[in-house]
């Protein structure tokens, strides 16, 4: 377990003891005769349920009447202000248990916080902002890292962990070249070695039994399941797939981003240099007349039927194969870049290829070897920006 020893006044706390992680912050806000003084400032992690913020403060001038906790779950998230409910007094002890079950907060996410303390005489103290990691304290984590990648793992042979690190590093270099951007922050790649522990952090997802990887927007973190029974292709593809999502986060700024069905298609396309498996799957579906029309891919990518969702991922991958083989890698980059200006795929295909989306789909089906005379038309609808849930990667043989 990655414990840290932190001195606070005359006593010591050790983080990561048993299933509870503690972190105490130095009460450095006490300055001489300042009316409000922080006696104790602690943070307790009970993964995966609660982050407990604890404060003890006193005022030499008047009763403390107002305390606010200002916290942030992730470096790109907005700060939240929570007003504490307590009995005013010259010395107060406050606890605030933050339920993280609905925050979509990944293991080792950065949590920042500070206290705003005020007394009846009008004095105010705001503590320094402190950043801590929401550590999964249940496991004995080991680290392999470089300037580019940080990989956390447990219960694996060191040589196998090094192999996983090398896979991630190779994918990092390849994606940096393909996207033409470097990640603004070093990614953290987390490896769970057992299904049960991995499943416990998947509560917000459906089809949990099929999920093998997940990325968390805004946290620069991917969480992956890798067991000794897995085929190498599966875990190698998963690691590259989730890393692709992190590159997309850096490539698309503000509200601009790929539609989800193309985002997942791109990540699947980026899993490896050889995408023959996805191509065969899509061609078999086309031969049966079972291809999902592009108009239906936004819904199919999150279908409860795992076979439908898997086919949607594969179709998205072959769309990028089609662009790459027909117009070249420069066209892929141009196609991606246009989504910085619009989220409407039809606008993008018109600008980049001079084709409407139905015309583009007809060309893609012909490239697959199964041409058709017509495809369903898209109906113009307002473009909305949905809440972005963590994105899963599925493991299934498909059709």
Residue 77 has pLDDT above 90, yes or no: no
Residues 388-394, mean pLDDT to the nearest whole number: 55
Q: Give the pLDDT confidence score for residue 255 in this predicted structure.
A: 61
- Distance separating alpha carbons of residues 49 and 101, to the nearest angstrom: 6
Q: 82 lies in a domain?
A: yes
Residues 195 and 82 in one domain: no
Assigned token pair, 41: 């400032």
**Bridge partners (DSSP) listed for residue 72:** 112
CATH code assigned at 223:
3.40.30.160
Pick the last residue of a domain from 134, 167, 182: 134
Q: 388 lies in a domain?
A: no
* Phi, psi angle pair for 89, to nearest 5°: -175, 165
Q: In sequence order, what E strands does the chain have? A: 5-8, 11-14, 21-24, 36-46, 50-59, 64-73, 80-83, 91-99, 109-119, 124-126, 130-134, 142-145, 150-153, 188-192, 211-216, 221-225, 391-394
Assigned token pair, 301: 């990518």
Higher-confidence residue: 382 or 239?
239
77, exposed or middle or buried, with CB in 10 Å at 0-12, 13-18, 19+?
middle
Torsion angle of alpha carbons 277, 231, 191, 203, nearest 10°? 70
Residues 144 and 249 in one domain: yes
Q: Give the pLDDT confidence score for residue 177 in this predicted structure.
A: 82
pLDDT tens across 228-268, in order? 889 999 999 999 999 999 888 878 766 667 899 999 999 99
Q: 36 lies in a domain?
A: yes
Q: Give the pLDDT confidence score for residue 338 in this predicted structure.
A: 92
Contact between 266 and 313 (Cβ < 8 Å):
no
Residues 348-370, mean pLDDT to the nearest whole number: 97
Q: 234 lies in a domain?
A: yes
pLDDT tens across 143-153, in order? 999 999 999 99
- Would you call 299 helix, strand, or coil by DSSP? helix
Query: Which run of H or E residues covers position 313?
Result: helix 306-327
Residues 226 and 238 in one domain: yes
Number of folded domains that form the chain: 3
Name the residue range of residue 291's domain.
Answer: 259-342+344-382
Residues 334 and 253 in one domain: no
Q: Determine the Cα angle at 196 with ends 190 and 202, to 5°.
A: 65
Residues 267 and 371 in one domain: yes
Q: 250 lies in a domain?
A: yes
Residues 89-106, mean pLDDT to the nearest whole number: 91
Assigned token pair, 11: 């006593």
Residues 378-387, mean pLDDT to the nearest whole number: 49
Residues in the chain: 399
pLDDT tens across 363-374, in order? 999 999 999 999
Q: 389 lies in a domain?
A: no
Q: 14 lies in a domain?
A: yes
CATH code assigned at 37:
2.60.40.10
- Distance separating alpha carbons of residues 336 and 257, to the nearest angstrom: 9
Residues 182 and 241 in one domain: yes
Higher-confidence residue: 257 or 396?
257
The alpha carbon dihedral of 93, 98, 99, 100 has a sign of negative
Residues 173 and 112 in one domain: no
Comparing CA positions, the residue from 109, 76, 302, 132 lying closest to residue 204 is 302
Would you tell me the crossing angle of helices 306-327 and 329-338 to the nearest 10 degrees? Answer: 120
Residues 46 and 111 in one domain: yes
What band does 179 get if pLDDT is binned at 50, 70 and 90? Answer: confident
Residues 9 and 130 in one domain: yes
Confidence (pTM) = 0.78
Q: 396 lies in a domain?
A: no
């Amino acid at each position: 377990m990655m414990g840290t020893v932190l001195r606070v006044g005359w006593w010591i706390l050790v983080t990561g003891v048993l299933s509870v992680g503690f972190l105490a912050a130095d009460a450095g806000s006490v300055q001489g005769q300042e009316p409000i003084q922080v006696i104790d400032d602690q943070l307790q992690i009970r993964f995966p349920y609660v982050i407990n913020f604890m404060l003890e403060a006193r005022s030499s001038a008047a009763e403390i009447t107002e305390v606010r906790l200002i916290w942030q779950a992730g470096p790109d998230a907005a700060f939240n202000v929570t007003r504490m409910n307590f009995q005013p007094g010259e010395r107060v002890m406050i606890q605030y248990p933050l339920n993280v079950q609905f925050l979509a907060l990944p293991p080792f996410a950065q949590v920042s916080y500070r206290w705003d303390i005020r007394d009846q005489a009008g004095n105010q103290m705001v503590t320094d902002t402190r950043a801590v990691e929401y550590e999964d304290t249940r496991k004995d984590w080991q680290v392999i890292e470089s300037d580019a990648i940080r990989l956390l793992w447990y219960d694996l042979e060191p040589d196998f962990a090094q192999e996983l690190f090398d896979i991630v590093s190779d994918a990092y270099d390849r994606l940096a070249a393909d996207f033409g951007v470097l990640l603004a922050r070093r990614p953290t790649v987390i490896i769970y070695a057992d299904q049960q522990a991995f499943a416990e952090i998947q509560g917000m997802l459906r089809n949990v039994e099929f999920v093998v990887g997940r990325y968390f927007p805004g946290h620069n973190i991917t969480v992956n399941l890798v067991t000794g029974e897995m085929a190498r292709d599966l875990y190698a593809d998963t690691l590259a797939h989730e890393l692709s999502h992190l590159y997309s986060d850096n490539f698309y700024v503000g509200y601009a981003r790929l539609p989800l069905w193309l985002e997942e298609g791109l990540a699947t396309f980026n899993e490896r240099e050889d995408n023959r498996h996805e191509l065969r799957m899509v061609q078999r579906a086309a031969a049966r007349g079972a291809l999902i029309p592009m108009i239906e891919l936004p819904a199919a990518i999150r279908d409860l039927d795992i076979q439908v969702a898997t086919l949607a991922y594969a179709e998205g991958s072959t769309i990028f194969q089609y662009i790459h083989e027909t117009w070249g890698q420069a066209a892929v980059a141009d196609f991606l870049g246009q989504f910085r200006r619009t989220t409407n795929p039809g606008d993008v295909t018109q600008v980049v290829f001079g084709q409407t989306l139905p015309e583009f789909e007809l060309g893609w089906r012909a490239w697959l070897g199964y041409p058709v005379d017509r495809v369903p038309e898209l109906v113009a609808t307002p473009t909305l920006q949905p809440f972005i849930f963590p994105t899963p990667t599925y493991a299934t043989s498909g059709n």
